[in-house]
Structure 1
Amino acid sequence: MHTHSPTWDDCQQLLKTLFTTEEHERILTEARKNVPGDKGRLTTLPNLIDECLPLNRPDWDFGNAEAYRIHQYPMSAKARKGIAPHINHLLEAGILKPCHSAWNTPLLPVKKPGGKDYRSVQDLREVNKRVEDIHPTVPNPYTLLSHLPPSHVWYTTLDLKDAFFSIALTPSSQHIFAFECHDCNTGTPGQLTWTRLPQSFKNSPTLFNEALNQDLDSFRQSHTSVTLLQYVDDLLLAAPSEAECRRATRDLLQELGQLGYRANAKKAQICRQTVTYLGYKLKEGTRWLAEAMKETILRLPVPTSAREVREFLGTTGYCRLWILGYAEIVKPLYKATKDKVPWAWGSDQKKAYDELKVAFLRAPALALPDPLKPFTLFVDERRGIAKGVLMQHLGPWKRPVAYLSKKLDPVAAGWPPCLRIIAAVALIVKDADKLTFGQHLKVVTPYAIEGVLKYPPGRWMSNALLTHYQGLLLDAPRIIFAEPTALNPATLLPTPDLRAPLHDCQEIMAEVTQVRLDLQDTILPNSELVWYTDGSSFIIDGVRKAGAAVVDKGGHIIWSASLSLGTSAQKAELIVLVEALERAEGRRVTVYTDSRYAFGTVHVNGAIYRESGFVTAEGKALCNLPEVRRLLMAVQMLRALAVVHIPGHQSAWTPEAEGNQRVDEAAKAAAVASSALALTQPTPDLPHLPPRPDYTPEDLRWIQNHHCPEPDQQGWHQDTEGRLILPAQLGLFLLSNLHQATHLGKKKLLTILESARLRFPRQAAQIQEIIDQCVGCQAMRPSRKGPQHTDHDPNVAPSYLASLKALQGVQHEIWSLVHSLCEIKDAPNPEHGIVPGDWHRALGPSLSRVPSQPAGEDAS
């Protein structure tokens, strides 16, 4: 009788008692070499070996895992009767067996197309969620046919019937695939489970592909003159002659029969020069889309949701090698795949949808890549889309092998054309390498990018990215660059007119890498003004204070100001530089700054920001965006300009160092002076925005109507001026709390929102509603109906009393803050029992409260 189920720890303790450590390791190593696989032969599959003899404690086991049960969905008598023959056949074959399991998943009857028969499909989604993923090793159909030599023009295709049922399922795993089934004769319910690999199991394709690949290894070694491609259960055999194809096909069928596999006779294509494989038609070393594949795409209905658009793109993307500029055509469709914005099917999407279907109708035949010949790659870039055609020569003709296209990332899309083409070539070469087998590749573009890569502009890309491009593209002699040639946009092939003007890349980049052509980084000769600028930001008593100043070479302060609390040093440097340039409008000026950030923004990054649309690589708005925009405009206001960088805090005594020291002292003095001008409070830790916004449908409609750009990766929208758009409820919550603490008016609250670069739907109306509903604000407003006296005091109106009460409430809220910040000694205490409207009697210098009296009695 079993009284205990041994655990992993029990087994390990028993092994330590029976064997030494060396004996245990030797036994385990030998045992792992002799794990039986399918059909009783030894296996080398790590997942099967680890299942039988794990080296480490299993994460969980089926015996202790929490079972998941879903009741069988209701099924009509007709459907139950329709799947009964199929179930009985599987029971007789031993593929199904009765069981008792805590697991249960529903069975779905699916009617076969064109007939009255049914087939059963098991819903294993919940089981798939709970089973560990294994690394998929199924071949990529995108590159699978690239392994087919063009000289092999006789083909045989085989489709294995019920392929997954050829792989036995280990008994310890069978019970998690149980399902409920009713006996058609008695109606008695019961449970059945699989003894072979289920078809709906997520790891079945990978497990079967590995097993079949291992089984066919001996055939490949004995038939080296033919090529055998395998995609799960679809086999393609190619041979150079009909005789070899027939002989190899016969041997392959015999091998499969001995291994227990069965081929579908109806789908087999034996020894033909034209066959269909994976939706592609093969003939004489070329491939093109099969008519069935084209018909499937053309019959797809117009999408009515974001999900249907994604399904359409997934179907068409399988055949993108045949479409020139596929990424450019489908660009509008990707905008309709986002769930966070209201779904819309506009004219741009309709045009792209129709254009893509027409492109499939005109899809050309593509040559199979020949690994013995070099390749030629024509690449161009247009509107942020990289496009390329991979070709090989057949005598005097060029034959296309593949059409490639990719979208550039936001940063690369904002580069000058001479650098965008480098990013485009890198993307297309990566894709082409999957088809070229490391063969020589000749790259043809309209730009001389080899020279740009050898003498790169350091302003536009990081060292890591530049090294990546150089390592990938300057790979002589495998990759060589042809002379720049004008390409026809319709075909990406060289145009017959070789006299087309070609530009100088270095000259073009020199123009676009500066915010103005005559900008200098050394002192201007005959400068009318020589100014020093500095912004200072530091923390005193937990409060970040900031100031800025502009000083001339004589030490006179041209401008200084304290900046708002919390201003960063970088922002302060931009503000003071903008102020200096705007004050020197129309003059010849030299401006010194010790800020690398401000200097880099003017000389290096400003042009990059402008070209990239003032967004980062993640599509987010730049930090200090208003100041950067203002700086780029201010640079254009001067007749001549030099922004010169000077190291800060120098020990050497030079006129430049002296001027920088003076402006540094002036900026710090301006920052400290801010505390004497206004009562300030240490900036509290501001609450963070939620990770993702919770926009309502009304919010999204408002965003769409205001033509706002696409959201960032977290789903936050910004308007065309870079202001963050809050959900209406969040904006209302923010303003309600802000008004409750400050009782500011409408204009001031709108100014605060603008300073914080925030916006939300109906913000002006919401602010007005908040103010109208505020009791204190309404009480402080002067009455438009004139004084309304009370019955007991004809000299005091109720509205005036309400105003005094509201003022007293505000006094209670701010008095403790004023007292703590200003350290007022012996300050009067506002805490007392007097309430506006009480009656008091004057007793010398003090007051004493008396009960309220009716009107007409003496009071003061």
Structure 2
Amino acid sequence: MTAVLTQKTSMGHKPIAYYSGLLDPVMKGHYPCEQVLATAAFAVQKSTTIVMGSPLTLYVEHAVFTILQKNKSTLTTQRVSGYEVILSIPSLQVVRYHTVKLVMFFAQPVSDDEQVYDCANYTLEEESKVGEDPIPGSMLLFVDGFSFIDQETGIMHSGAAIVRAEQQGPSDTLQIVSQIPLPSHFSAQAAKLLAIIEALQQAEGLEVTTYSDSAYFTTTVHSSIHRWERRRVLKSDGSPVMHKDLLVQLIKALTLPSKVAVIKCAAHTNQQDLVSRGNVLADWAAKEAAKTSPNFSEQDEHMLGMMTSRQQNATELPPPYTERAQLHLRELQEQALPHERELWEQRGCIQSPTDFIYRQESTGRPVMPKPCYIQP
């Protein structure tokens, strides 16, 4: 950050003080427009000891107030409030210039009819790299990650899964293309990151639309990942962020497909549309992968790139009931309270990815909520 305080005289602008400093590690990861905003606030704050409330004109190349009012700003509320206080003092006048040089009389102010850099859309170029809407005719993938702690051994088991949808006219099919058992140190967030990395690698050179019900995952891809990339995946104190290795792989993987869209979908909707069924199947496949996760040694845990995906076809639990009976079973199971469904899962029941009916894994029999067992 550099700035110069000048006083206008008959001979032009006379320099009074020079200011320079380094952007803090957090601001180094922000967009150039936001860095200019921080520099402007720095210059005004530094000059207060000399200006002492006298009229001050700030010449800056960017529309700082437009940046402050931007809805998609990546700045925190605390930073925005601080900059607003500094730049809103009554004695300050902000003037936007094309190029602010140390010799101020060489600068030319921006006129209304000139084409200049649009500070209101400074993030659009990077945001457009990953779309938020489905790409027509693209590969359609559903990703998920899961982890749980074995109550008997205390060991965490994790897994990730990728499901591909094939649309052929009015019909569509779902297929589990990857189930990945993961080391015990993988959290659910890390498992989800690995799932999308694997999916993007499979879609290299293609157009792909990916769905996930994870808010953490979609937020990371659409906003956080660009900031971490500019900050070299480091926190404000210089230490690496959580899941640094996976984020580095994700940054590279996002460049592999020719076009990428990452979309958040609703979880556990019990609907029969393609997105809902694909998400449920990905969730089920990730849980199944976690159940088979081996105990990796310390030397093997970091060898993420050496892991191979287990290719499987989509498995369907054959329902021995008519369509009408399946509908009735679903309606009964929907009456179960959330804690009762959790109890089903703890006791080894799974929800079928095809008909959404909870069944005992060992026998395949459906389970019923407590009201069904109350005798008149």
- Normalising by structure 2, what TM-score? 0.70
Letter aligned with residue 435 of structure 1 = I
Q: Show the counterpart of 1:562.
A: 181
Letter aligned with residue 141 of structure 2 = W
Question: Is residue 2:96 matched to residue 1:483?
Answer: yes
Give 1:109-508 correspondences, 5 Å limit. Answer: 386-395=1-10, 397-458=12-73, 460-475=74-89, 477-488=90-101, 491=102, 493-495=104-106, 502-508=116-122
Q: 1:545 aligns with which of 147, 154, 157?
A: 157
Task: For residue 505 of structure 1, report the CA deviation from its aligned partner.
Answer: 2.5
Task: For residue 653 of structure 1, report the CA deviation from its aligned partner.
Answer: 5.0
| Structure of larger gyration radius | 1
Q: Show the counterpart of 2:240.
A: 621
Q: Show the counterpart of 2:351.
A: none
Query: Closer, same or farther in 2 for the Cα pair 1:613/1:497, shift >3 Å?
Result: same
Residues of 1 paired with 2:103 and 2:224: CA distance? 33
Letter aligned with residue 137 of structure 2 = N
Query: Closer, same or farther in 2 for the Cα pair 1:409/1:457, shift >3 Å?
Result: same
Q: Show the counterpart of 2:290.
A: 671
Query: Closer, same or farther in 2 for the Cα pair 1:471/1:647, shift >3 Å?
Result: farther
Q: Which has the higher contact order (CA 8 A, sep 6+)?
A: 2
Task: For residue 494 of structure 1, report the CA deviation from its aligned partner.
Answer: 5.0
Task: For residue 671 of structure 1, report the CA deviation from its aligned partner.
Answer: 0.3
Q: 1:522 aligns with which of 129, 133, 137?
A: 133
Task: For residue 644 of structure 1, report the CA deviation from its aligned partner.
Answer: 0.5
Task: For residue 664 of structure 1, report the CA deviation from its aligned partner.
Answer: 0.6
Letter aligned with residue 433 of structure 1 = T
> Can you list the C-alpha shifts for 1:7-40, whole angstroms capped at 9, x where unaligned?
xxxxxxxxxxxxxxxxxxxxxxxxxxxxxxxxxx
**RMSD of aligned C-alpha atoms?**
2.6
Q: 2:261 aligns with which of 626, 642, 651?
A: 642
Q: Show the counterpart of 1:290.
A: none
Task: For residue 402 of structure 1, report the CA deviation from its aligned partner.
Answer: 2.0
- Answer yes or no: is the 8 Å Cα contact 1:444–1:485 preserved in 2: no
Give 1:745-764 correspondences, 5 Å limit. Answer: 749=299
Residues of 1 paired with 2:209 and 2:150: CA distance? 33
> Can you list the C-alpha shifts for 1:556-611, whole angstroms capped at 9, x where unaligned?
21111111112011111110001111112122211001122221222111111111
Residue ranges of structure 1 left out of the alignment (5+ in a row) = 1-385, 682-741, 743-747, 756-860
Residues of 1 paired with 2:282 and 2:302: CA distance? 32
Query: Closer, same or farther in 2 for the Cα pair 1:613/1:635, shift >3 Å?
Result: same
- Answer yes or no: is the 8 Å Cα contact 1:406–1:428 preserved in 2: no
Task: For residue 493 of structure 1, report the CA deviation from its aligned partner.
Answer: 2.9
Task: For residue 537 of structure 1, report the CA deviation from its aligned partner.
Answer: 1.1
Q: Show the counterpart of 1:660.
A: 279
Secondary structure of the residue aligned to 1:503 is coil
- Answer yes or no: is the 8 Å Cα contact 1:442–1:480 preserved in 2: yes
Secondary structure of the residue aligned to 2:106 is coil
Q: Show the counterpart of 1:533.
A: 143
- Answer yes or no: is the 8 Å Cα contact 1:418–1:509 preserved in 2: no
Query: Closer, same or farther in 2 for the Cα pair 1:470/1:561, shift >3 Å?
Result: same
Query: Closer, same or farther in 2 for the Cα pair 1:485/1:456, shift >3 Å?
Result: farther
- Answer yes or no: is the 8 Å Cα contact 2:183–2:301 preserved in 1: no
Task: For residue 654 of structure 1, report the CA deviation from its aligned partner.
Answer: 3.9
Secondary structure of the residue aligned to 2:141 is strand
Residues of 1 paired with 2:42 and 2:276: CA distance? 48
Secondary structure of the residue aligned to 1:600 is helix
Secondary structure of the residue aligned to 2:96 is coil
Letter aligned with residue 4 of structure 2 = V
> Can you list the C-alpha shifts for 1:714-764, whole angstroms capped at 9, x where unaligned?
xxxxxxxxxxxxxxxxxxxxxxxxxxxx9xxxxx95x66767xxxxxxxxx
Residues of 2 paired with 1:505 and 1:630: CA distance? 30
Residue ranges of structure 2 left out of the alignment (5+ in a row) = 166-172, 305-376
- Answer yes or no: is the 8 Å Cα contact 2:100–2:107 preserved in 1: no
Residues of 1 paired with 2:71 and 2:191: CA distance? 32
Give the percent of matched residue pairs that are identical in Structure 1 and Structure 2: 26
Residues of 1 paired with 2:232 and 2:282: CA distance? 34
- Answer yes or no: is the 8 Å Cα contact 2:8–2:14 preserved in 1: yes
- Answer yes or no: is the 8 Å Cα contact 1:486–1:494 preserved in 2: no
Residues of 2 paired with 1:530 and 1:415: CA distance? 32
Secondary structure of the residue aligned to 2:7 is strand
Residues of 2 paired with 1:548 and 1:412: CA distance? 34
Secondary structure of the residue aligned to 1:668 is helix
